[in-house]
Structure 1
């Protein structure tokens, strides 16, 4: 039986993953700390006079995994509640200058494997979002969710002698198998308000996989354009 891609990777791949996750999380923590500055305090129940509507964002993604293939395209999308809109769901988010993101992503990670994910992300804006109207906003975020990994499963040959002979002569057939994983992610990026209703977003993301038989941890780069949802 052929060995799965990455099955014989040395221990340095594990160290690479651990180091990348630690570096990204550390960078997010440093940026969040650096964003704290003197200014008026906002009570946890403060809300904006008029909240902007949530956004739907869509765009391509490029990513890869140390244990599989390093460059694979896909697409991602999200529903983004920036702090003023998120206050309608949980009021302290406005005080924390933090948004809510419902994130989804689909991408091949190898010629015969693909990943579909759904996540809930907290996104901390590193500018004073209470006063921001238009401009650029750097952000750092973290969250978690579920991933569905699709992979090929060989179809067993027939039990009869005729069936076995036919199976030997025919190409091996496969069907799709699926496995669920819990995942966590960390992100760094920024938003650019192009107009009052159009937002351009860039971000880098690391996703880790836990409690699974194989490690599909991967990095990805995302470019998305966002439009307001009726709200």
Structure 2
């Protein structure tokens, strides 16, 4: 058990260079929330629902992280900072990283029955801050969800999702092969939305303005020389 704890703390340090020691990592709200969830989940599996909810509420009060006791979580799960909500039927694989203000939310079943209504995150998934992953969808292995993205459809393995509503964008092979990408989004990834007619019109207008400015600059040196000659003539 102690060796598993050390391995877990080391996996967090590999993803977050801020802590100076394992003791410091133990103070992370995400670590405390995951530890208390293990207790709540054990109680939930034993049909001790009220006590499980009690542990869940205590954890939420202490950490600002709300993990339903029914959620299934794999190894080395890291919640960086907090303010995260994880629903009852969410399933999280191994080595998953979630940043602050993320919701793994559910859909409201029209038939009144619960069922599977929250996301499933495969191994090595990264969810950027503020992202909303909604519904009984699957986020494939090594997929990334960028900050503030809204995902309501299945995410292919290795894809990077950006935007509102999130869309898949291709990343270079060397980026995809990296073990860990902070915040789930490559820094050099073009995150602008796909061009629309309005965007294209603005780009054309900007290009025209740049052309006009370039023409104006061509006349500036001549204008400056003429003004200087006039000043010299006035002095004589």
Same fold (TM over 0.5): no
* Greater relative contact order (Cα < 8 A, sep 6+): 1
**Structure with a larger share of its residues in helix:** 2
**Structure with a larger share of its residues in strand:** 1
The structure whose Rg is larger is: 2
TM-score range, shorter chain: under 0.3
Compute the TM-score of the two structures, normalised by the length of structure 1.
0.22
